[in-house]
A and B are shown apart, each in its own frame.
Chain A
Amino acid sequence: MSEKYKNIDDLFRDKFNDLEVDPPAHVWDNVKSGIYGSGKFGPGKPFFYGGIMFLSVALIFLGVYSFLFFNSTPDINPEIYTANNLTEINNSTNKSEDNLLAMQSAPIKEVDVSYQDHSSSDPKSKGKKKQKVIFDISQNNNITSGKTSLVVTDNNNLTKTVPSNIQKEKDPATDISEIANELLEISFLKPGDDSELLALNQTEYEAVETKMEEINTEIIEEENVANTLSDNNPSNPEQSSNQEVRSDYGKKGNLKLGVYFTPEMIFYPSNSGFNNRSYSVDLNAIYEFSGYLIQSGIGVNWLSDDGNYKIDYNKYLGSYEDVYNVTFDTTGNEVIPIYHTETVDVYDSIDHITITPTKSNYTYLQIPVLFGYGHENRRFGWFVKGGPSLSILVHENIADINLSDSQNQIINVENELPSRISTNWQFVFSGGVSYKLSSHLSLSVEPVFRYYIKSVYDNTNLNTKNPYSLGLRAGFLLDF
């Protein structure tokens, strides 16, 4: 061995000490795609999070809108109109834009035929015996009574309510248009300027009266047919002796609120060393209609990863008092030296390394949107559902460093734990049963399968792709 190199180790250390080699260009390209694709860096990050926020807000808005839309009760007019009467709703103070308000609030007078003038008191209109009127037509559904009122309003604030019936076999829109056409065929006469009595000549009055009688007769016949059909319908709650069935009849949908607890086991097919457990608590709203269901809400998911801390440190050997200054006190008869010292810690110059196990805890926010189908029979029910679920990392708790001797000097700490990505999507499938504890409270149990669309870890080289989990979701459902 040459004198310069006492041994083979020195040769390699010396030659490799300052070795620098330019890496190929494609490596940097791959590094860039690796870090920008992780979601932690890159220009797409704000857009990415913005998209998630937008999606979350949209989902919440959709949920609230669905809730309001499906649970809003239609306007119900407490008055049940009889087919024999034409009802004129008259509000002497209202303007044309207040027709709806007037219709809902004004007292209803039931008369055979009566008209009052609320049009202009303009003297110029005096003498007009006959005038075509334009009708605004709206339909007022009354689900409870099973009847429909047709409201006919002219532009001069003359409001008439013509009853008709709901007949499921017949399109209500057709009814409205037919009746409206019939009414339009009649030339209503405007009252005179004195507004005291309707100024109809006898011939025209008789024509109107005849036409009205025809309409009323037709309406009565249709109503009788509808009543017969309704009486024969086995699903008619009025025919049922079950009080619960009767009360549910006519409801468009059913809203439930679910509180769930779900323990899950997450499996990594290509690397079982990463298998771990998770626990989640969810608050979901479930809307059921015609057997189908939509479920969404929010949940919190807790899980942890085991890992190691790799700590580079220098051992603490002791300390000594370093004299950094000496002064002399000459105030007395003798010279007294004063030593100014400071304590200096001494560490081993050799780097040491230790590996200590650690556990990191993570908290995710979960937003599922599930669609499914189910059936409920008295107390027991079953259901299946599935859909996407978004998980957003909201908190991570990395354990503190645990070094046996706290006096040692830590040079560097490396957490041998792959960091998790901040958001991930899963497909969730579940099926289960429910049991009605009371009329408003149910117990639900369902096995859950969750498939992660991609790895939840940053480093895709760890063979942690496409994990899946199996869990058991149990909870209580509150029925509104």
Chain B
Amino acid sequence: MYSEEDLINRCLNNEAKAHTDFYKRFAPKMYGVCLRFAKNQMEADDILQEGFIKVFLNLRTFRNEGSLEGWIRRTIVNTAINLFKKNAKYLKDIEIDKAEIVQNTEEGALDKISVEELLNLIRELPAGYRMVFNLNVIEGYTHKEISELLKISENTSKSQLSRARQTLQKKLSKLNCVYC
């Protein structure tokens, strides 16, 4: 197993095997990210493909100041954002006050929910909800950052997140009933 630095250098030296190793090392994790952002598997494939092409073509710009995986992840997420911006026409503001928070859930029932089921829940969300939820909850972006990235207001970002949570709660409740 090569170190990240060696792997990068070999990739920059145009070694075909290094490209394959690089992809095999990071693609599974990045595909998990893509599946969260995409509405279906085909779109996830596209994001991964385009994202990795960008990664390889811009690998020389990577600074060794942060982790390589983090840099690749940023690239993949940005690719997903670009795809979203290309497809999304507009995002509506939603009144946050009206977003309900469902708190009552059977203890231990959530542990039984599989990753695949959660993925399906996220995929069923509208594109805007899914994007803001992923960026804020999973990737850790603030609403200000999301507003800059998606070119929306902070309030829109907050309202989309609130509605996403509300929708997911409802769906989780239904799933819980199955496991109760």
Q: Does A238 contact B (CB under 8 A)?
A: no
Is there an interface contact between A353 and B107, defined as CB atoms closer than 8 Å?
Answer: no
Chain B residues with CB below 8 A from A354, complex form: 148
Chain A residues with CB below 8 A from B115, complex form: 15-16, 19
Contact with B along A1-21 (1 / 0, CB 8 A): 111110011011101100111
Partner of A8, one of B20, B140, B172: B172
Instruction: Please give me the residue from chain A that is nearest to B166 by CB atom.
Output: A8
Interchain nearest-CB distance for A188 vs B (Å): 74
Residues of B12-55 at the interface with A, using a CB-CB cut-off of 8 Å, are 14, 16, 19-20, 23, 27-29, 31-32, 35-36, 45, 48-50, 52-54
Q: Does A118 contact B (CB under 8 A)?
A: no
Is there an interface contact between B65 and A411, defined as CB atoms closer than 8 Å?
Answer: yes
Is there an interface contact between B23 and A28, defined as CB atoms closer than 8 Å?
Answer: yes
Partner of B138, one of A16, A355, A415: A16
Q: Does B3 contact A (CB under 8 A)?
A: no
Is there an interface contact between A459 and B31, defined as CB atoms closer than 8 Å?
Answer: no
- Alpha-carbon distance between A397 and B35 when the two chains are bound, in angstroms: 36
Q: Count of chain A residues with Cβ under 8 Å from any Cβ of B?
A: 51
Is there an interface contact between A40 and B57, defined as CB atoms closer than 8 Å?
Answer: yes
Q: Does A312 contact B (CB under 8 A)?
A: yes
Q: Does B137 contact A (CB under 8 A)?
A: yes
Is there an interface contact between B118 and A31, defined as CB atoms closer than 8 Å?
Answer: no
- Alpha-carbon distance between A415 and B16 when the two chains are bound, in angstroms: 25
Q: Does B110 contact A (CB under 8 A)?
A: yes
Is there an interface contact between A31 and B137, defined as CB atoms closer than 8 Å?
Answer: no
Is there an interface contact between A12 and B137, defined as CB atoms closer than 8 Å?
Answer: yes
Is there an interface contact between B49 and A27, defined as CB atoms closer than 8 Å?
Answer: yes
Q: Does B87 contact A (CB under 8 A)?
A: no
Q: Does A379 contact B (CB under 8 A)?
A: no
In the complex, identify which listed stretch (B71-79, B91-99, B152-160) lies at the interface while the others stay far away.
Answer: B71-79
Is there an interface contact between B109 and A415, defined as CB atoms closer than 8 Å?
Answer: no
- Alpha-carbon distance between A153 and B60 when the two chains are bound, in angstroms: 72
Please report whether the interface of chain B is mostly helix, strand, loop or mixed according to DSSP: helix
Chain A residues with CB below 8 A from B49, complex form: 27, 30-31, 34
Q: Does A323 contact B (CB under 8 A)?
A: no
- Alpha-carbon distance between A4 and B78 when the two chains are bound, in angstroms: 31
Q: Does A23 contact B (CB under 8 A)?
A: yes
Chain B residues with CB below 8 A from A353, complex form: 141, 145, 148-149
Contact with A along B98-123 (1 / 0, CB 8 A): 00000111111111010100100010
Residues of A181-214 at the interface with B, using a CB-CB cut-off of 8 Å, are none
- Alpha-carbon distance between A102 and B81 when the two chains are bound, in angstroms: 84
Given A414-B75, A416-B78, also A31-B14 (CB < 8 A): no
Q: Does A175 contact B (CB under 8 A)?
A: no
Q: Count of chain B residues with Cβ under 8 Å from any Cβ of A?
A: 57
Given A16-B118, A410-B65, A461-B50, also A21-B70 (CB < 8 A): no
- Alpha-carbon distance between A12 and B58 when the two chains are bound, in angstroms: 31
Given A2-B109, A8-B168, A15-B118, also A413-B63 (CB < 8 A): yes
Given A1-B103, A22-B28, A410-B65, also A27-B53 (CB < 8 A): no
Residues of B121-180 at the interface with A, using a CB-CB cut-off of 8 Å, are 122, 133, 137-138, 140-142, 145, 148-149, 165, 168-169, 172
Is there an interface contact between A31 and B70, defined as CB atoms closer than 8 Å?
Answer: no
Partner of A412, one of B56, B70, B137, B145: B70
Residues of A27-46 at the interface with B, using a CB-CB cut-off of 8 Å, are 27-28, 30-32, 34-35, 38, 40-43, 45
Chain A residues with CB below 8 A from B145, complex form: 352-353
Chain B residues with CB below 8 A from A4, complex form: 110-111
Given A23-B45, A312-B66, A459-B54, also A415-B61 (CB < 8 A): yes
Partner of B48, one of A27, A412, A413: A27
- Which of B35, B106, B138, B149 is most buried by chain A, counting CB atoms within 10 A of its CB? B138
Instruction: Please give me the residue from chain B that is nearest to A4 by CB atom.
Output: B111
Chain B residues with CB below 8 A from A154, complex form: none
Is there an interface contact between A32 and B57, defined as CB atoms closer than 8 Å?
Answer: no
Chain A residues with CB below 8 A from B148, complex form: 353-355
Instruction: Please give me the residue from chain B that is nearest to A22 by CB atom.
Output: B28
Q: Does A351 contact B (CB under 8 A)?
A: yes
Interchain nearest-CB distance for A400 vs B (Å): 13
Closest 8 CB pairs of A and B: A19-B32, A20-B28, A34-B53, A23-B31, A353-B145, A35-B56, A412-B66, A9-B137
Q: List 10 A-B contacts (CB under 8 A).
A: A1-B104, A2-B106, A12-B118, A21-B35, A27-B48, A35-B56, A43-B16, A353-B149, A411-B70, A414-B71
Spell out B's residues near A (CB within 8 Å).
14, 16, 19-20, 23, 27-29, 31-32, 35-36, 45, 48-50, 52-54, 56-58, 61, 63, 65-66, 70-71, 74-75, 78, 103-111, 113, 115, 118, 122, 133, 137-138, 140-142, 145, 148-149, 165, 168-169, 172
Other contacts beyond A12-B138, A45-B14: 12, CB < 8 A: A1-B110, A13-B137, A16-B118, A26-B45, A28-B20, A34-B49, A35-B57, A412-B63, A412-B70, A415-B58, A419-B57, A459-B50
